[in-house]
A = this chain, B = another copy of it.
Amino acid sequence: MTSQRPIPTLQDVATLAGVSTATVSRAINFPDQVAHVTRDKVNAAIAELGYSPNFGARAMAARRTNTIGAIIPTMENAIFARGLQAFQEELRRNGYTMLVASTAYQPDTEEEQIRSLVARGADALLLIGYRRNPAIYDFLDGQDVPVLLTWAFDPAATRPSVGFNNSAAMQEMAEKVIEMGHRRLALISAETAQNDRASARCDGIRQAMTAAGLGSDSLCFVETKYGINEGAAAFDRVMAHVPRPTAVFCGNDVLAVGALRRARECGISVPGDVSIIGFDDIELAQVVYPALTTVHVPHREMGRKAGQALVKHLRDGAALEPIEVHTKLVLRNTLGPP
């Protein structure tokens, strides 16, 4: 299992091919700067030795890595998967590699991951949302690492982002729900403290309530950690509220699916007894029964545009501009009249 012969280096390839290391390097990185026959010799030598360039050495010498880091709150469910997939595809098409890390929604972990990716030489970073310790932004500026934010869009923000207006999206949904006659609303939210998307979504509902003259403090608000079971548990708390809500918004589809499961377990009919509304429109939303009414986020478009923006910035020095993408209400079967 352990080979005794040493790991081949550029030098070994050069010697075997009978050329200099510079030529080998160019044959690998800029093939058309090298004569055809030379290139063939080099490739043969590479194949024969099973050579693989040492990334660290390369990064150090070239001062770039063609790597872009993405840090997301969780990989456990598909919320970020589709967008990230599109992001990665876009990068790949342009010769960049994506490195992902996840934070389990812990700001400390995020900070650690940011440092780790920067140390690993990420040429740029994709982060979710705006809100984080300013010291981190200082660090990133100091390290000269461009940052693009996503999953949120605030035209007033100082940092560029590719995302959508969480507040407006949720407000639109809430208006719809209110228009259907719902008056007693509840929200099962992800933890808002460190999560600007969650708090924006909450704001959206409150604004719709105020606009409809409902008094935004009548909202039955429950905050919980992320997860299907957490959504289920939160649903119990919401249903225990007096007066019992007729429509339960959820900060994301994962929570909504948990709520929906719990409703079934308790024999509460959806949407007969209560309506449940999600956010994100992940695949899950169409699989559960009844199919989930939710806010569709154009994940792939968002990921793709983020990738394009970052590549353009890195390659051509184009400034990173804010880009807004648009959500859409998806009315399926968990929403009905009260």
A positions within 8 Å CB-CB of B: 1-3, 5, 7-8, 49-50, 52-60, 65, 75-78, 81-82, 84-85, 97, 99-100, 115-116, 118-121, 138-139, 141-144, 146, 228, 257-258, 260-261, 264, 283-284, 286-289
Contacts and interface: CB of A to CB of B under 8 A. Distances in A.
A116 B97 contact: yes
A57 B60 contact: yes
Contacts of A141: 1-3
Number of copies: 2
A74 B219 CA distance: 39
For A52, A143, A257, the residue with the greatest tally of chain B CB atoms inside 10 Å of its CB is: A52
Nearest to A53: B119
B119 A54 contact: yes
A115 B81 CA distance: 23
A123 to B, nearest CB: 13
A113 to B, nearest CB: 9
A139 B76 contact: no
21 contacts: A1-B141, A2-B141, A2-B144, A3-B141, A7-B144, A8-B142, A49-B142, A50-B142, A50-B143, A53-B119, A54-B119, A56-B59, A76-B81, A76-B85, A77-B78, A77-B81, A99-B99, A228-B286, A258-B287, A260-B287, A261-B287
Contacts of A289: 264, 288-289
A146 B1 contact: yes
Nearest to A60: B56
For A53, A76, A287, the residue with the greatest tally of chain B CB atoms inside 10 Å of its CB is: A287
A312 to B, nearest CB: 15
A266 B59 CA distance: 55
Contacts of A55: 56, 59, 119-121
Given A52-B139, A75-B84, A228-B286, 19 more contacts: A1-B141, A3-B144, A52-B118, A52-B119, A56-B60, A56-B65, A56-B121, A75-B75, A75-B81, A75-B85, A76-B81, A77-B81, A99-B99, A100-B100, A228-B287, A257-B287, A261-B286, A284-B284, A288-B289
